[in-house]
Amino acid sequence: MTHHECVIFFVSSQNTIFAAENLTRNMEQKKNVKDLIIAYLMLIAGSFLFAVGDVMFVNPYLLAPGGTYGLSNVLNTVWPWKISYYAICMDIPLLLIGTWILGPKFGFKTVLSTIMIFAFTWIIETFWGYNPVIHEGIVSAAEQLPNMVQIPHSEMFFMPDYFLNTVVAGLIYGVAIGLIFKSGATSGGSDIISMIIHKYTKISLGTLVMVVDSIITLTTLIAFKQIRLPIYSILLIYIEGKIIDLIVEGFKSYKTAFIVTNEVDNMRSFIIDDLKRGGTLFVGKGLYAGVERNMIYVSLDRADFVKLKDNLHRIDPTAFVNLIESAEIMGQGFKALPKEE
């Protein structure tokens, strides 16, 4: 190969490398743009669903499932003013105070979510009103029957179905907040109060969120003197939490297995060849006899665990297995590691 041909070959190779790098970079950029669009669509959908759940399902039944909107529902019924106005008057100061005390950790998406929920709530309560979706018929005030509950700010009455409404409201709230969380935003609102108290008291954040939300649910008992209202509100929160977990974590069930075995080679072959999983081998010493034992640490999904369980006795009938439920597993073979925004 002549010097001239070598130069041409080198330049051609470099161009090929640059083209491949540009193609990879363009694909990553397109994927990032697609992920960003999906995130904002989830944010919009979640904000809209939250407003639907609050105005059409929660407010007509006088429920208050925590948060600034839960408290706004109570205030809206006691002192008629739009839910959205009450909520935004609490959300904006909380965001400002939270940013001042905790630092700017809420992000643009949380602020955008706060604004969109306010806007959607205002639109729905303005054009729909506070009429329930789930009811057993609407009658006029002149035809009022015993035990009917008056719809706030309306001359109409309805026969409520508290349990069905609570279940549906919990589903809608769960999907809504799950989508908001999955988009990369946070709920903000009264959670900021919990975060501030957590900073100075070191009490568990989960405990503080439950305490704050429970106090808000109890306002329905104080305002309306009906014990069933906080009970249904707490049930709604429970359903909502389960749905949020499903939306954010997905339907996959992950398990972590610690397998103490004398048949390390056979167990290793089964995990790698049949389950297509990796794992970690530890060597420990038994407390009773002081004998060294081998322990394999492996993470599995539900299907993997069923296969392992079915084959354990064949591989090593003396094996000892400790199984732990895993809320989330990230890394190769499981959920991708989160990227920095």
Determine the pLDDT at residue 244: 83
d(CA 258, CA 295): 6
Determine the pLDDT at residue 299: 86
pLDDT bracket for residue 48 (50, 70, 90): very high
* Arithmetic mean of pLDDT, 259-279: 87
Half-sphere exposure of 207 (CA within 13 A, CB side): 6
Domains, the chain: 38-249 (no CATH), 254-326 (3.30.70.120)
* Arithmetic mean of pLDDT, 268-285: 85
Higher pLDDT, 292 or 229: 229
Is the predicted pLDDT of residue 205 greater than 80, yes or no? no
Determine the pLDDT at residue 144: 47
Is the predicted pLDDT of residue 341 greater than 70, yes or no? no
Whole-model pTM: value is: 0.72
Q: What is the pLDDT of residues 210-238, one digit of tens each?
A: 788 888 999 999 998 889 999 999 999 98
d(CA 204, CA 196): 12
Q: What is the pLDDT of residues 139-176, one digit of tens each?
A: 555 444 444 455 554 555 667 889 999 999 999 998 99
The Cα-based distances of 22 to 89, 104, 218, 303 in angstroms read: 49, 35, 59, 39
Percent of the chain topping pLDDT 90: 25
Q: What sign results for the dihedral spanned by CA atoms 189, 47, 114, 248?
A: positive
Half-sphere exposure of 295 (CA within 13 A, CB side): 16
Task: Please choose, from the candidates 69, 64, 51, 60, the residue with its C-alpha nearest in 3D space to the C-alpha of residue 233.
Answer: 64
Residue 341: Cβ-neighbour burial (10 angstroms; 0-12, 13-18, 19+):
exposed
